[in-house]
Amino acid sequence: MNKNKVRMQNGITYAIVVGCWILVQIMDKTGHMTSLLRGILVPLCMYSILAISLNLTVGILGELSLGHAGFMCVGAFSGAFLTKCLENLLPNLQLRFFLAILIGAAVAGICGILIGIPVLRLKGDYLAIVTLAFGEIIKNLINVMYIGLDKSGFHFSIKDTMSLGMDETGVVIIKGAQGITGTPKASTFLIAVVLLLITLFIVLNLIHSRTGRAIMSIRDNRIAAESIGINITKYKLMAFSISAALAGVAGVLYAHNLSTLAATPKNFGYNMSIMILVFVVLGGLGNIRGSMIAAVVLTLLPELLRGLNDYRMLIYAVVLIVMMLFNSSPRAIELRSVLLERFRRKKEPAAKEAA
Amino acid sequence: MAMLEVKNLGISFGGLKAVDDFSVAIEKGQLYGLIGPNGAGKTTIFNLLTGVYRPDTGTILLNGQNITGKKTIEINQCGIARTFQNIRLFKDLSVLDNVKAGLHNHYRYSTVEGILRLPRYYKVEKQMDERAMELLKVFDLDGEWDYKASNLPYGKQRKLEIARALATEPKLLLLDEPAAGMNPNETAELMETIRFVRDNFDMTILLIEHDMKLVSGICERLTVLNFGQVLTQGETSEVLNDKRVITAYLGE
């Protein structure tokens, strides 16, 4: 039955990721790896995870969310907070990082549920605007937050470091707008790829299961889904919080890829949320592999065009417009099918001749 | 005791009394018709029965259990399933998946079992596939199981909706204009299918229909609705010959 088709499609998706990893290893060994490229490997995986997780909300659940960077931010800070706190207790960095990923996912997931309960009653544009506001609130909250740790425990303030009132052994962990400094650099390409594969595994298996069917039936027709006894609130919340938890994982990856973590408009602002949405829309709503590829292409493109200086963003924008048109306008879809047909026809005689 | 007993049901929207003092009793295994001119309140009654609207007055008893004011999903779990006047399929899902979505509450495994692909996932999915194919076969849709639901021809979409409703294992099936948009051949075929469903699934069916050939062909009893009120009810042949009914449909 179509189980085999699904299994093959999923297999191809996993194979692409593993293939890319092998390619990078080969490039590394043969000395074709530039430092620019090496620096972008972890972000590539991170953006892919973000795009895949947002596709779960936008493509599979069918709700427009513009606050994905907010969940990433929550994950990043809770994860980095944990690695900083356990610095002395757990000297093993890998283990701490592993714990940080779990905590980041859990905290972001819980945030997803808390935000989801009121927000998922809204539809369409309203939902988009409220999630956008949520993302901004999270970012600004973290910017005024001061948390310190000394012998007597945690100290919390929203004013400044002085008002934490710690003794001389105290260490400031989150320092308002300066964020968390000195996060250990634990994110490696291997870990990032493994996390990406796990994300794919969770999302793809979820979609092709009883739960995924329920989620997609809500997307296609809420009233009909209700009439056949599907619990709308439960499945909406589930999809939303899983999506948030995976964004949290990407956040932890981000936090441990840099030595300082601060919530700026650039990394956790709505620009980021919209960029992730662009990956999803470009890759195709509900198309998991597509959103992954779009994330990689659109992240690599500005870096590869760096040589062109000022024209870089112009070319990026033009490519974006052309790709969007190619993906969605009826004329372009027609043209694409004609090209595909011609390509196939050319192939066939060649195959016959060969036989 | 009747399977479905509705007493003095009423709802108003603003100043409009959409349904007023509607009562009906449907016995188990009956094929019951609800007819009336456009805007008489037929679909509103379906929406009241399935919990889309909350009635202002009256009670609904299903097998003696009071289901008045319950939520749509609870009512479905109590045993009422429906189809819609304007088809509401899960259009991007396959035909098979539409029916499997209907099986949701009867074949269970947890989300974690689904993600980790534990043995239970494979076992239950296999049972779901078998059951869904069985249902599709009844409606002669088994050949198109892997089509996207929106790619089915109109008549088959209507049938798929019935199959999906049956998948929830209801006691009472509500069909909202099942023959709308069908040609005479398709309608005749649909009549056979509805009878088959009643006999083989041990089903009680309440249907709204404008096609009088279908109504007189399969319904055993009828209720005629006009301006939200019951005009008359009784045996099909009696009701259709009632002068008031003819007047309501055709005017003086």
Mean pLDDT of A245-252: 97
**Residues B60, B67 contacting (CB under 8 angstroms):** yes
**Domain A2-354: assigned CATH number:** 1.10.3470
Per-residue pLDDT of chain B (252 residues; tens, 9 = 90+): 789 999 999 999 988 899 999 999 999 999 999 999 888 999 999 999 999 999 999 999 999 999 999 999 999 999 999 999 999 999 999 999 999 999 999 999 999 999 999 999 999 999 999 999 999 999 999 999 999 999 999 889 999 999 999 999 999 999 999 998 888 998 999 999 999 999 999 999 999 999 889 999 999 999 999 999 999 999 998 988 888 888 887 776
Percent of chain A with pLDDT over 90: 54
Partner-chain contact B101 A1, CB within 8 Å: no
> Which of A203, A213, A228 has the highest number of chain B CBs within 10 A, making it the mutation to test binding with B?
A228
Q: Is B112 near chain A, with CB under 8 Å? A: no
Question: pLDDT tier at A350 (50, 70, 90 boundaries)?
Answer: low
Q: Can you name the residues that pair with A147 across neighbouring β-strands?
A: A156, A174
Nearest to A217 among B93, B114, B128 (CB): B93
- Looking at B168, B192, B213, the residue that finishes a domain is B168
Q: Is B85 on the interface with A (CB under 8 A)?
A: no
Q: What is the pTM of this model?
A: 0.90
Q: Check whether A213 has a pLDDT greater than 90.
A: yes
SS3 B110: coil
Q: Which residue has the higher pLDDT, A12 or A162?
A: A12
Identify the CATH number of the domain in which residue B181 sits.
Answer: 3.40.50.300
Residues of A within 8 A of B121 (CB-CB) are 209
Measured in angstroms, the CA of B247 and the nearest CA of chain A are apart by 35
> What pLDDT does A290 receive?
92
B36 & B160 share domain: no
CA-nearest of A172, A99, A111 to A139 is A111
> What length does chain B have?
252
Do residues B73 and B175 share a domain? Answer: yes
CA distance B224 to B246: 11
Instruction: Examine residue B131 and state whether it is found in any structural domain, yes or no.
Output: yes
pLDDT band at A316 (very low <50, low <70, confident <90, very high): confident
pLDDT for B252 equals: 65
**Prediction ipTM score:** 0.92
Tell me how far apart the alpha carbons of residues B64 and B44 are, in angstroms, rounded to a whole number: 22
A220/B81 touch (CB, cutoff 8 Å), yes or no: no
Q: Does A307 touch chain B (CB under 8 A)?
A: no
pLDDT tops 60 at residue A352:
no
Q: Which residues contact B125 (CB under 8 A, 6 or more apart)?
A: A209, A210
> Do B32 and B12 belong to one domain?
yes
Comparing CB atoms, the residue among A2, A210, A238 nearest residue B146 is: A2
Nearest to B72 among A202, A220, A226 (CB): A226
The answer, for B50 touching chain A at a CB cutoff of 8 Å, is: yes
A351 in contact with B, Cβ within 8 Å: no
Query: Is residue B155 located within the same domain as residue B131?
Result: yes
Query: Helix, strand, coil % (nearest 5) of chain A?
Result: 75, 5, 20
Q: Does residue B248 lie within any of the structural domains?
A: yes
Look at residue B111 and tell me if it is in a domain.
yes
Bigger pLDDT: B73 vs A1? B73
Do B222 and B244 belong together in one domain?
yes
A349: confidence class by pLDDT, cuts 50, 70, 90: low
| Residue span of the structural domain in which B93 resides | 89-168
Query: In chain B, which residues have their Cβ closer than 8 Å to the Cβ of A212?
Result: 114
Contacts of A205-208 with C-beta under 8 Å, sequence gap 24+, read A205/B114, A205/B115, A205/B116, A205/B117, A206/A56, A206/A242, A206/B111, A206/B114, A206/B115, A207/A60, A207/A288, A208/A6, A208/A10
Evaluate whether residue B46 is within a structural domain.
yes
Encoding tokens for residue B89? 């399929």
| Chain A CB contacts of B84 below 8 Å | 223-224, 227
At position A42, the amino acid (one-letter code) is V
- Give me the pLDDT at residue A353, please: 56
The verdict on B194 and B153 lying in the same domain is no
**Cβ neighbours of A62 in B, within 8 Å:** none
| Structure confidence by residue, pLDDT tens digits, A159-175 | 777 777 777 777 888 88
Give the per-residue pLDDT at A303.
83
Quick: pLDDT tens for A104-157: 999 999 999 999 999 888 877 888 899 999 999 999 999 988 888 887 778 888
Yes or no, beta carbons of A229 and B73 under 8 Å apart: yes
Say which residue the tokens 């919530």 belong to.
Answer: A263
| pLDDT for res A169 | 75
How far is residue B101 from each of residues B84, B121, B127, B138, B171, measured CA to CA in Å?
16, 15, 13, 17, 18
Nearest to A205 among B115, B165, B167 (CB): B115
Identify the CA nearest to A156 among candidates A134, A139, A173.
A173
In a domain, B84, yes or no: no
Q: Any idea where the domains of chain A sit in the sequence? A: 2-354
Output phi, psi for A154, to 5 deg: -85, 145
Rounded mean pLDDT, A202-225:
95
- Residues B127, B241, single domain; the answer is no
Can you list the pairs that B237-246 forms with residues at least 24 positions away whose Cβ atoms lie under 8 Å? B240/B212, B240/B215, B240/B216
- Best of B93, B96, B115, B133 to disrupt the A interface (most A CBs within 10 Å) is B115
Q: With an 8 Å Cβ cutoff, are B93 and A220 in contact?
A: yes
Same domain, B182 and B119: no
Contacts of A231 in chain B (CB under 8 A): 73
The per-residue pLDDT for A4 is: 82
Question: For the packed helices A312-328 and A270-283, what is the interaxial angle rounded to 10 degrees?
Answer: 40
Same domain flag for B68 and B100: no
Same domain, B129 and B248: no
Q: Clarify whether residues B139 and B181 are in a common domain.
A: no
How many structural domains comprise chain B?
2
**Last-in-domain residue among B168, B189, B213:** B168
